[in-house]
Amino acid sequence: MEQKISELFIMVEPYLKIIIILPISWIVIGIVNKAVKKSLLVFSLPSDLNNILRRIIKYILWFGVILFIVAELELEEILMPIMGASFLVGAALAVKNILSDAIAGIFILLDKHFNIGDEIETLNRRGEIIDVTLKKSRLRMSDDTIVVLPNGKIDSSGWILHKQKIVTDEKKNM
């Protein structure tokens, strides 16, 4: 009888640990979040950056709790490859847009279809190009509003060149 109870306890022990760890983790992560919030106020960072840093710390802590739960349930062999694959897929999707914008920016800069000072229409926006970088292009609208557009979307949707900036012969010779 005593052996059956000890076997039952050995079977149930990981689940009991998880039941105890989850509320403790909830409380500890809440306390850490408040402490991080107070300590970030000292640095006088923008509120959105404070929010992002707090969330990153909170997500890292919850990820640690999830890893603990996976280890307690002895699911590493099943879940670790899935988590690794999920990370790779997420990273690939995040990098896809960045690479798309950068490659489109290279082609926009090299092809010289439009230059700074030209007036174009793209993505339902019409304005004067004031800056072109690898990732983004900036347009000044007629009401002096600045619109930042990703180069990947400009390149894929196309554009209409309305007014080309006239470059004098003196500037061309320099």
What number is the average pLDDT over the span 40-69?
Answer: 87
Q: Which two tokens stand for residue 161?
A: 């060149």
User: 112-173 has which fold?
Assistant: SH3 type barrels. (2.30.30)
Q: Which two tokens stand for residue 28?
A: 């500890």
Is 91 a residue whose pLDDT tops 60? yes
Is 172 a residue whose pLDDT tops 60? no
Measured between alpha carbons, how far is 18 from 142 in angstroms, rounded to an integer?
60
- What is the number of other CB atoms lying within 10 angstroms of the CB of residue 23? 9
* Per-residue pLDDT at 170: 47
Under a CB-based contact definition with an 8 Å cutoff, are residues 16 and 24 in contact? no
* Per-residue pLDDT at 143: 95
List, for residues 27-48, the tens digit of each pLDDT value: 999 999 999 988 888 887 777 7
Measured between alpha carbons, how far is 84 from 91 in angstroms, rounded to an integer?
11
List, for residues 110-143, the tens digit of each pLDDT value: 887 788 899 999 999 999 999 988 889 999 999 9
* Per-residue pLDDT at 168: 52
* Per-residue pLDDT at 102: 86
146 confidence band (pLDDT: 50, 70, 90): very high
Can you tell me which residue has the tokens 């009991």? 16
